[in-house]
Amino acid sequence: MSRVLVIGCGGVANVAIRKCCMLPEVFSELCIASRTKSKCDALAAELKDKTTTKITTVQVNADSVEELCALIKAYQPDLVMNIALPYQDLTVMDACLACGVNYMDTANYEPEDTDDPAWRKVYDKRCKEQGFSAYFDYSWQWAYRERFEKAGLTALLGCGFDPGVSQAYCAYAKKHEFDEIDTIDILDCNGGDHGYPFATNFNPEVNLREVSAPGSYWENGHWVEIPAMSIKREYNFDQVGQKDMYLLHHEEIESLAQNIPEVKRIRFFMTFGQSYLTHMRCLENVGMLSTTPINFEGHEIVPIKFLKALLPDPASLGPRTHGKTNIGCIFTGKKDGKQKTYYIYNVCDHEKCYQEVASQAVSYTTGVPAMCGALMMLTGKWTTPGVHTVEEFDPDPFLAALDKYGLPKSESYDPVLVP
Ligand code: NDP
């Protein structure tokens, strides 16, 4: 029996909320709070006769700590699931601390305004010291560690698929398969086809920022940064087939490098079709990915926000998408003095996801782990006070929950390695 406050009602939150409502014995009361209340109301109305979870809805501006605190004090939740955007991570964490509530999210903090001089100063210093230039990193949220610990509260960061399940796979490999892990390759393949010439599978602004940034990987104790999309590999994915994939910077590399310090190399690859890349390069070249406001006929416009308004809403892709995703980790390392390799992954079918929760697999593979992470926190399995990433907790009950609630693992002890 618990009360949960969900912030955000977009593609991922929709899946997480629907899955929570399938477990009313744990998620007995749920408040959906987001910027556009009509979206929360529409979802609540749809779920009303399908669940005994008591759902309420409310409008909130999650950029305002004051508004969030008023809402948390009024609703008194056991947990706040922040499934809005990475821009709101710090305000929601501040409100959770002020009100004494546990916190979780699905992506690490990045600022909405990357031209903000105060943020830039810290960012420029971090780029120089750390050696990677992505706009997001864990330092902002790790800075809350001591405060959460002292308050006896738990903050679970990045509990989607990647980040999220990818780190649970690493913890699982470390616990059961290896004495020592040498290399980790995280492979994220989306073999889905939505039929549009160009669309993103989750929030376009966050997605396009991520894939247009320089790539980087962790090797022998430091970051190696490369121009965007300059390392390409081909891989034959189980149930999907041969795909081109590109090395990207990704947030879980940063926490894994700290939490599994013996690892010599950690890389992240994501598949992209040629058409997607051509569109993206063109949009970037003409300035449509910029976050800097411009004045257009007397109106201030942020190009990437305008682009978001033109592109298909990721939530609308569900009924059109067919094909499968395949996301997982390939490890090399040693067990009992012998070299070994291991691949753990999940295959998810876009159409089956749509039949179950009216959403495509990218939102599904993020929303289900968010629900399972909340389940771990609410049932006393992941409760260490402080600010933690997924690999810091016992992976077994989490992977068992994923097996049960829609994202079962597959394993191979003889995978083809990525050169
Ligand atoms: P969407 O854009 O579909 O949804 C975001 C939701 O947050 C919307 O309902 C939006 O409201 C709401 N929101 C935005 N700003 C505010 C605000 N200031 N106050 C209140 N509500 C706000 O995004 P997704 O569902 O695709 O993504 C959600 C999160 O999941 C993101 O952080 C994303 O980075 C992360 N993610 C993580 C993945 C993983 O594997 N770990 C993979 C994919 C996504 P409105 O409806 O008004 O726009």
Closest atom of ligand 1 relative to the 315 alpha carbon: 3
Would you say 262 and 226 are in contact if contact means Cβ atoms under 8 Å apart? Answer: no
CB 3 within 8 A of CB 374: no
Task: Give this prediction's pTM.
Answer: 0.95
Q: Measure the CA–CA gap between 255 and 162, rounded to whole angstroms.
A: 12
165-356: CATH number: 3.30.360.10
pLDDT in the model for residue 379: 98
Q: Does the structure show a pLDDT above 90 at 411?
A: yes
60 lines ligand 1 (CB under 6 A): yes
pLDDT value of position 204: 83
Residue 379 φ/ψ region, left for φ over 0, alpha for ψ in the -120 to 50 degree band, beta for the rest: alpha
Where in the chain are the domains? 165-356
DSSP state of 174: I
The span from the CA of 13 to the CA of 7, in Å, is 8
Residue 208: closest CA among 118, 126, 314: 314
End-to-end CA distance of the chain: 49
Tell me how many helices (H) and strands (E) the chain has.
15, 18
Distances (CA, A) of 317 to 161, 274, 350, 406: 19, 20, 10, 20
Which atom of ligand 1 approaches the CA of 158 most closely? Answer: 41
Closest CA to 321 of 188, 189, 193: 193
pLDDT in tens, 104-120: 999 999 998 888 999 99
Place 369 in a pLDDT band, splitting at 50, 70 and 90: very high
Give CA–CA dist 294/303, Å, rounded: 7
Q: Which of 5, 18, 35, 252 to mutate to test the pocket of ligand 1 (most atoms within 8 A of CB)?
A: 35
Query: Which of 6, 31, 34, 140 gets mutated to test ligand 1 (max ligand atoms within 8 A of its CB)?
Result: 34
The fraction of the chain above a pLDDT of 70, given in percent, is 100
Which H or E run includes 403? helix 395-405
Query: How many Å apart are CA 14 and CA 21, to the nearest integer?
Result: 11
CB of 3 shorter than 6 A to ligand 1: no
The residue-averaged pLDDT of 146-153 equals: 98
